[in-house]
Amino acid sequence: MRAIAVTEPGGLEVLRVVDRPVREAGPGEVRIAVKAAAVNPTDIGLRERGVEGLEAPWVPGMDAAGTVESLGEGVGRLGVGDAVMAAVSPRRPEGGAQAELIVVPAASVVPVPDGASFQQAATLPMNGLTAMLGLELIGLTAGQTLAVSGGAGLLASYVIALAKVRDVRVIADAKPDDEALVRSFGADVVLPRGEGFPAAVREVAPEGVDGLFDTALLGRGAFPAIRDGGAMAVVRGWDGSDPERGIQIHPVWVRTALERTDWLLELRELASQGRIALRVAAEYPPEQAAEAQRAMEAGGLRGRAVIVF
């Protein structure tokens, strides 16, 4: 089967389409014929640094959508031919989602949302799980207030929608052209994007917000928006330094949640109801994987680039 491969750590030139064997599904596993696989920032990190402890080539991708090709022993929830989406770890010997055939744990696989294309479904699993995990770590309850940086991005759109399902008040940022878009995700208040965002948050939440989901990588610069003893979810790790004013830092490692079937099913249901917007920015064949990553690195995408097999 064809797969997108990182042949060595480096720039876009190290991306290739290669032929690789694929094993049969084992007990508790599903083999999926992939129709679409999303391109995410994690793919850039894998391309630039490779996977420690594994020899190249490495197959990127953490989101796939396609049809069930075969089932391993003991898998009863799914059937051959089902249209499904899956969360995939690329940091394993057989690699990630950007391949024509993949084998994944059945716990990481659920049906695609009603009415969604494979391309749309491929944008949901990993980013949806990231949003779910970050919100659980922050631990807000109904009536509390969450700030979301990078409000127009795909991850932020899922965070906003899921927070609103939990009756949390949401303050997000956006460029002027994106304000209506971010409001459509469910944000209660939309403030200008930029260095002034934390100060602007204090104008509408004088005590500071209870939590902040930092999808824009503001880091310590976001602290002024957060109340004493509040919490912040960070998606690229933390340097280990002590936060101020009792603020709790929660690194969000989505690899720990890839087999949360219950969360994947909730995401599927909310997308089926139209409460989560599935946004595809552009579609690329496998041979143009470098172009897909180039577009993502350039920024400004309103949705995900998707590889279509």
**CATH number, position 192:** 3.40.50.720
Q: Tokens 């744990």 sit at which residue?
A: 105
- Residue 41 identity: P
Q: Is residue 208 part of a domain?
A: yes
Give yes or no: residues 182 and 239 share one domain.
yes
% of the chain exceeding 70 in pLDDT: 100
Same domain, 49 and 99: yes
Same domain as 160, residue 244: yes
Half-sphere exposure of 272 (CA within 13 A, CB side): 11
Q: Domain check: are 54 and 103 in the same one?
A: yes
pLDDT value, residue 100: 98
Residues 111 and 151 in one domain: no
Q: Confirm whether 158 is domain-assigned.
A: yes
Tell me whether strands 63-71 and 83-87 are parallel, antiparallel or unpaired: antiparallel
Q: Tell me, what amino acid is at 184? A: S
pLDDT at 122: 98
Residue 160 is assigned to a structural domain of this protein: yes
Q: Please tell me whether residue 43 adopts helix, strand or coil conformation.
A: helix
Claim to verify: residue 190 and residue 104 sit in the same structural domain: no
Q: Does residue 203 fall inside a structural domain?
A: yes
The reply to whether 133 falls in a domain is yes
Could you tell me if 169 and 111 lie in one domain? no
Whether residues 174 and 134 fall in one domain? yes
pLDDT value at residue 185: 97
φ, ψ for residue 178, nearest 5 deg: -105, 0
Residue 77's domain is classified under what CATH number?
Answer: 3.90.180.10
The whole-angstrom separation of Cα 165 and Cα 180 is 19
Distance CA 288, CA 178 (A): 28
113 in the same domain as 17: yes
Instruction: Tell me the C-alpha to C-alpha distance, in Å, between residue 276 and each of 97, 119, 145, 214, 301.
Output: 22, 15, 20, 19, 17
Tracing tokens 């002027």 back to the chain, one arrives at: 176
User: CB atoms < 10 A from the CB of 194, how many?
Assistant: 9
Contact 34, 102 (CB under 8 A): yes
Q: Which two tokens stand for residue 148?
A: 């979301």
Rounded to whole angstroms, the Cα distance separating 72 from 80 reads 11
pLDDT tens digits, one per residue of 44-103:
999 999 999 999 999 999 999 999 999 999 999 999 999 999 999 999 999 999 999 999
Evaluate whether residue 89 is within a structural domain: yes
User: How many C-beta neighbours within 10 Å does residue 161 have?
Assistant: 22
Under 8 Å between Cβ of 80 and 71 = yes
Q: Verify that 134 and 59 share a domain, yes or no.
A: no
Q: What does the pLDDT look like over 205-215, one tens digit per residue?
A: 999 999 999 99
- My answer on whether 109 and 187 are in the same domain is no
Strand partners, 84: 66, 111
- Per-residue CA distances from 279 to 103, 232, 269 (Å): 26, 26, 16
User: Is residue 261 one of the residues assigned to a domain?
Assistant: no
Sequence-separated (6 or more) residues with CB below 8 Å from residue 51:
58, 90, 91
Strand boundaries in the chain, DSSP class E: 2-6, 15-19, 29-38, 63-71, 83-87, 101-105, 109-111, 145-149, 169-174, 189-192, 209-214, 226-234, 248-251, 280-284, 304-308
> Does 224 lie in the same domain as 152?
yes
Query: Which residue ranges in the chain fall short of pLDDT 50?
Result: none
Give residue 240's pLDDT.
83
Q: Check residue 237 and give its pLDDT.
A: 86
- With b meaning 16 or more CB within 10 Å and e meaning fewer, what string describes 275-298? ebbbebbbebebebbbbbbebbee
Is residue 207 in some structural domain? yes
Which pLDDT value is given to residue 239? Answer: 85
- Counting the structural domains of the chain, the total is 2
Q: With the C-alpha atoms ordered 30, 127, 279, 63, is the resulting torsion angle positive or negative?
A: negative
Give me the domain span that covers residue 78.
2-123+278-308
Q: What is the pTM of this model?
A: 0.96
pLDDT of residue 190: 98
